[in-house]
Amino acid sequence: MRNGSIGIITNIQRFSLDDGPGIRTTVFLKGCSLACRWCHNPETISGKKQIQYLAESCKNCGSCVAACKRGAHQIENGRHAIQWDMCTGKFDCTGACFYGALSVIGREITVEALCEQLIRDEAFYDHSEGGVTLSGGEPLLQSDFCAAVLRRLKELNIHTALDTAGNVPWVKFETLLPWVDLVLFDIKIIDPDLHRKMTGGNNHLILENFERLCRENVAIRVRTPIIEGVNDGETETDRRTDVLIKAENIQKTELLPYHSYGVGKYAALGMSEKTPAFKTPSPEKMQAIASRMRNRGVANVVV
């Protein structure tokens, strides 16, 4: 059982240049309150540990078949197959795999152990005016753990950033905002019905939290993933603009074109039926959206 002193993460990405100013270390926490159809980090959606299977590394040796008590692993016609619905999450198979085809996604880590790793790159943060970003998933689902990490970093004068979709009770923000220098806030879709259809969640709480956040003493960068055929039209662009022109403390608005880099992860996690099938918007389309937002009064829109 986890508490505020222990969190569960999927990855620590060093020398990141895309998650706030300067050179940063980005921590990806496991668990999300949304399930966006275009998600490029599907391993962070579930808050539980998961098995990852990399077919290209499998030698069909059968060691996992012998290790699995439920019979989820099978060798059929010389090929490895997994019955994902039979997996109980005991992970005996991952320890038995000699070739690294099977691994556990998600590991528990203490506040002290994580901070010890993050502090190693302090010289790079100082030189580049960078710092640490907590991302996910949704880091605010582990707000007590994140607050403890951020507080320790601020004691060392390390710049901190929080990357959030905002779909949590406001009290989660209050838990850690005193130790956050920058919030990267995702505003994906304004139309409530479309938002629910494409993310699995209502956006009322998200927009309400965004409005409250803009009244706090914290810098904000808005991030919007642009998905062709979903939120790239003029109506959705104008609705997003209407929200942003009333906001304060916004450093800039980042428009992020959808990319398919994470598509292969779905099959590896047993989520093939949820594999995204979106297209990347063209550079011309991205610039047109940015220009429309600027012309209607949103300052510092970047692509």
What residue has token string 């009333």?
246
> Which two three-digit tokens encode residue 107?
């590991």
| pLDDT for res 91 | 94
| pLDDT for res 88 | 87
Rounded-to-integer distance, Cα 186 and Cα 164, Å: 6
**In the chain, where does the domain assigned CATH 3.30.70.20 lie?**
50-105
> Which two three-digit tokens encode residue 178?
């005193």
Second CATH level (architecture) for the domain 50-105: 2-Layer Sandwich (3.30)
Rounded-to-integer distance, Cα 79 and Cα 157, Å: 53
Which stretches of the chain drop beneath a pLDDT of 70? 1-3
Rounded-to-integer distance, Cα 61 and Cα 99, Å: 9
Rounded-to-integer distance, Cα 74 and Cα 117, Å: 39
Give just the sign of the alpha carbon dihedral 3, 113, 262, 258.
Answer: positive
**In the chain, where does the domain assigned CATH 3.20.20.70 lie?**
6-47+106-302
Rounded-to-integer distance, Cα 83 and Cα 101, Å: 16
Please tell me the pTM assigned to this model: 0.94
Radius of gyration of the chain (CA): 21
Inter-residue contact 159 to 21 (CB < 8 Å): yes
> Which two three-digit tokens encode residue 292?
């429309």
pLDDT in tens, 212-251: 999 999 999 999 999 999 999 999 999 999 999 999 889 9
| pLDDT for res 89 | 86
| pLDDT for res 1 | 40
Q: Would you list the DSSP string of 151-203?
A: HHHHHTT-EEEEEE---S-HHHHHHHGGG-SEEEEE----SHHHHHHHHSS-S
Distance of alpha carbon 243 from its chain centroid, rounded? Answer: 23
Second CATH level (architecture) for the domain 6-47+106-302: Alpha-Beta Barrel (3.20)
Residues 6+ apart with CB under 8 A from 277: none
What residue has token string 């582990």?
142
> Which two three-digit tokens encode residue 8?
């569960």
